[in-house]
Amino acid sequence: MKKRVEVAAAVITRPDGSFLLGQRAPGTFYPGYWEFPGGKVEPGEDARAALIRELDEELGIQAHACWPWLMREHDYEHANVRLHFFEVPDYSGEIRDHVHSDLQWQHADALSVSPMLPANGPILKALSLPREMAVTCAETLGVEAQLDAADRALMRGVRLIQLRDKSLAPEARETLARSLLARCREHHALLVINDDLALAERVGAHGIHLSEAHLQTIGARPDMAWVGASCHSRDALERVAELGLDYALLGHVLPTPSHPDQPALGWSAFTGLTRLLPMPVFAIGGLSTEHMREAREAGAHGIAAIRSSWR
């Protein structure tokens, strides 16, 4: 049996979206490989406290915000390592490294250093996932108004759209999908199709978004670049993890007109349900970009929204 090592890792970010990587020094496991700063969680220490301590010891900085993000396990030759990743968008002090051979600020879509530690591949993909998902409502707005709203959203920076609108006639839904995809490609944005793999493949969408009911019936991950699912329970979230999907949506977090008779989760329950999961989870339900910081403090990757995305 390999020993289990608990590690706290920091995704230290700057406003431009870049994050800090360190190169492991000679004389350590995987010398020359690149990693996220952090270190071992000591007995009796929680992961957040360990991270704050490690960032002070390794980099000489004081972390003022440590947002829980996700957890990944990896079997190395020497141990089974469980990595608790936190986002650190706010710190003080000048970075002065004491343990790495080099430090570099990087972007997930333009990585210029290698090799990365084996456990970090999924982390880099997760970091390339936009923080806001705009979910279509052409059934309410009308197709032309939805396309106009998509133009405005893409212009303001939305880079992930989910085509929902299941009640549209198949021809109209496919036309909408092709029109949205053309717009997304122009803005280097992603389009995922809700619950219709055949349509997603036919139009060349970037991925598929599964309903919770569909999630429970499939035996393997669909063969697309991006695959996510809607969830309303811990069991569903764990099924997303088991299938190796790229993200989940969990809600509804706040009261919303679309579910007036169902109680909202609230942020505390959201945090509890998403604890120690290996994939990013979007919060959905009664949210707008004004809730982004609150969502990420609660452990969300970002927010997904229907109505507020198109205002």
Confidence at residue 140, expressed as pLDDT on a 0 to 100 scale: 94
Confidence at residue 79, expressed as pLDDT on a 0 to 100 scale: 84
% of residues, the chain, pLDDT over 70? 100
pTM of the model: 0.95
Q: Edge-to-edge strand order for the sheet containing 34-35?
A: 34-35, 19-23, 102-106
DSSP element (H, E) containing 167:
none
Q: Where are the alpha helices (DSSP H) in 218-284?
A: 234-243, 267-273
Confidence at residue 100, expressed as pLDDT on a 0 to 100 scale: 96
Q: Decide if 41 contacts 29 (C-beta within 8 A).
A: no
Closest CA to 301 of 184, 160, 105: 160
Place 261 in a pLDDT band, splitting at 50, 70 and 90.
confident
Closest CA to 19 of 113, 105, 120, 114: 105
* CA distance readout (Å), 207 to 82, 249, 272: 29, 15, 28
Taking 80 as the threshold, does the pLDDT of residue 260 lie above it? no
Confidence at residue 230, expressed as pLDDT on a 0 to 100 scale: 98
Exposed / middle / buried, residue 79 (Cβ in 10 Å: 0-12, 13-18, 19+)? middle
Q: What's the mean pLDDT when you consider all of the chain?
A: 95
Q: Edge-to-edge strand order for the sheet containing 80-92?
A: 38-40, 4-12, 80-92, 62-75
Q: Choose the weakest-confidence range: 83-87, 121-125, 149-153, 292-296.
A: 121-125
Taking 90 as the threshold, does the pLDDT of residue 262 lie above it? no
Taking 90 as the threshold, does the pLDDT of residue 128 lie above it? yes
Place 3 in a pLDDT band, splitting at 50, 70 and 90.
confident
pLDDT tens string 7-38: 999 999 999 999 999 999 999 889 999 999 99
Confidence at residue 58, expressed as pLDDT on a 0 to 100 scale: 95
Length of the chain as a residue count: 311
Q: Which two tokens stand for residue 262?
A: 């169902």
Confidence at residue 272, expressed as pLDDT on a 0 to 100 scale: 97
Dist. CA 17–CA 227, nearest whole Å: 23
Taking 90 as the threshold, does the pLDDT of residue 188 lie above it? yes
Confidence at residue 171, expressed as pLDDT on a 0 to 100 scale: 97
% of residues, the chain, pLDDT over 90? 91
Q: Which residue in the block uniquely carries the two structure tokens 């002090």?
A: 93
Rg (CA), the chain: 20
Neighbours of 18 (CB within 10 A): 15
Dist. CA 279–CA 17, nearest whole Å: 19
pLDDT tens string 242-258: 999 999 999 999 998 77
Confidence at residue 2, expressed as pLDDT on a 0 to 100 scale: 78
Confidence at residue 120, expressed as pLDDT on a 0 to 100 scale: 87
Q: Which two tokens stand for residue 223?
A: 């063969």
Mean pLDDT of 157-177: 97
Taking 90 as the threshold, does the pLDDT of residue 108 lie above it? yes
Taking 80 as the threshold, does the pLDDT of residue 1 lie above it? no
* CA distance readout (Å), 75 to 3, 26, 34, 36: 10, 21, 17, 17
Mean pLDDT of 178-190: 98
